[in-house]
Amino acid sequence: MDFSVVIPTHNRAELITRTVTAFLAQQGVDFEVIVVDDGSTDESPQVLGALRDSRLRVLRQPNAGLAAARNAGLAQAQAQYVLFNDDDVVPEKGFLRAHLELHQRYPRSVAVSRTYIPEALGQDPFTRFWRERAESGVRGRADGSPLGWGGYWFASLSLPCRLAEPFAAFGGYGWEEHELGLRLWRKGLWPRLALGARAAHEDRVNLETMMKKARSMGRMAWQFYRMHPSPQVALWTGANPASLALKRRLYPWDRALRLLEKRGWEQGAGAFRRYRFLLEAAYTQGLLEGRGG
């Protein structure tokens, strides 16, 4: 078998149906789909039970978080490669074939999907900003391009199953994917872009939600650093006194709060610049909150 596709899900009945159906329509590759229902209380068990296909296995567990759900799926994977895919990442035709071809060309690599945010998700200022930010990392890159040690996007990537490692649990949102990516990088598994593995990231976003996530990432940066106390991680996360002092000057939280009070600026030419400031300010605030934890 070529692929074990591991998809964690929690209370996203409509999305998980679309994603699994799109995977089951893939051709030219031998695969299984392992959905880990992480304690859903919506209609997810029912809609998954209605999908009759011998290639689909559904595991159910009490709600334990994304890392635990991915690890449960990994423990059941039987194929040559494991592909981690979020429940809101819907693959297009030829997706798995593109992953397989990249692995055949680069045997010790991690294949990263070419995800994009569909235009149908919105054209409001923040969605346009997030679309630009999310897709900028791979825009213009050729198939097989190395993505560097920050290029592990576990929303959708694959790697040799025998070299995969479990995710470490973090106390909040942020850095658990990067932490595993750092371990894989140190093992000589480098991320490369599978350009033909296109998938729609059906993730509706807004400023408030992403600031909350950025703030949590700031808090979790210290846990990441404690796990890997190195200059590399300190500089990457900003979890060090020098970086924190600089960020406090550049991204003061009181200015962020003033911007959030009156948001007429969102319709102006400088909206993207202010969005970047707000996300950095939220991250910095999280760093300040988490440094003593």
Within a 10 A sphere around the Cβ of 64, how many other Cβ atoms?
16
Domain ranges of the chain: 3-201, 207-290
pLDDT at residue number 97: 98
Residues 24, 57 contacting (CB under 8 angstroms): no
pLDDT at residue number 109: 96
pLDDT at residue number 293: 55
pLDDT at residue number 138: 87
CATH of 3-201, one of 3.90.550.10, 3.20.20.80, 3.10.350.10, 3.20.20.450: 3.90.550.10
Q: Which residues of the chain have pLDDT under 70?
A: 293
* Alpha-carbon gap, residue 285 to 289, rounded angstroms: 6
Per the document, the length of the chain is 293
φ, ψ at 32 (rounded to 5°): -130, 155
**Can you give the pTM of this predicted structure?**
0.95
Q: What one-character DSSP code corresponds to residue 108?
A: T
pLDDT at residue number 106: 97
